[in-house]
Amino acid sequence: MSGTAGGRRAVGDAGSATVLAAAAVGVLVCLLGLGLQLGAATLARHRAETAADLAALAGAREAVRGADVACARAREVAAGNGADVADCAVEGWTVTVITTYPCRCLPSVSGEATGRARAGPVAVGGPPSGRARVTGGDREVNTPGRAEGGPG
């Protein structure tokens, strides 16, 4: 008979499995809380970036009307996505927007995620009209709608 001395049970081991199980459950609960916190922070960051992207695009669309109109439209679109515009800059037709989104994590932890985006016309000096390089290859193909001549 293992664990007994003369028919008696060893006193030192009684309940040790319960303590280890409780400690393991405590560690798992802490890891779950950390995972939820990281997930909430990541979600807030993605929402801040999405709001910044959409706000910058909306602002760039209105940039021809002036910086005030462009930034007002960017603020309106960001607010529609639950974010606030921390900064809006218009340079020519290019609009740069920085947004903040509240991190709705655990009640004891608060903060804001930040997103940044820039939108405007395509810079001069891109691929030649009608030609584009295929990623990962050496073959050139015609860009739809810009080809001069025929397919090729």
pLDDT in tens, 14-32: 778 888 899 999 999 999 9
Task: Residue 100: give the domain boundaries.
Answer: 18-122
Kindly indicate the confidence band of residue 45, based on its pLDDT and cuts at 50, 70 and 90: very high
Kindly indicate the confidence band of residue 4, based on its pLDDT and cuts at 50, 70 and 90: low
Q: pTM of the predicted model, to two decimals?
A: 0.65
> Within its chain, how far is the Cα of 73 from the centroid?
22
Amino acid at 47: R
Kindly state whether residue 92 falls inside one of the protein's structural domains.
yes
Q: How far apart are CA 7 and CA 18, in angstroms?
A: 23
Residue listed under structure tokens 């006193």: 11
Kindly state whether residue 91 falls inside one of the protein's structural domains.
yes
Hey, what are 83's tokens?
Answer: 């974010």
| Arithmetic mean of pLDDT over the chain | 80
Mean predicted confidence (pLDDT) in 120-143: 54
Hey, what are 6's tokens?
Answer: 């003369």
Whether the Cβ atoms of residue 92 and residue 120 lie closer than 8 Å to each other: yes
What's the structural domain count of the chain? 1
Amino acid at 141: V
- With b for 16 or more beta-carbon neighbours within 10 A and e for fewer, the 84-105 pattern comes to ebbebebeeebbbbbbbbebeb
Kindly state whether residue 118 falls inside one of the protein's structural domains.
yes
Kindly state whether residue 27 falls inside one of the protein's structural domains.
yes
Kindly state whether residue 83 falls inside one of the protein's structural domains.
yes
What's the pLDDT score for residue 10?
58
Kindly state whether residue 133 falls inside one of the protein's structural domains.
no
Residue 30 CB partners (closer than 8 Å, separation 6+): none
Mean predicted confidence (pLDDT) in 34-48: 89
The DSSP-derived string for 60-95 is HHTGGG-HHHHHHHHHHHHHHTT-EEEEEEEETTEE
Kindly state whether residue 149 falls inside one of the protein's structural domains.
no
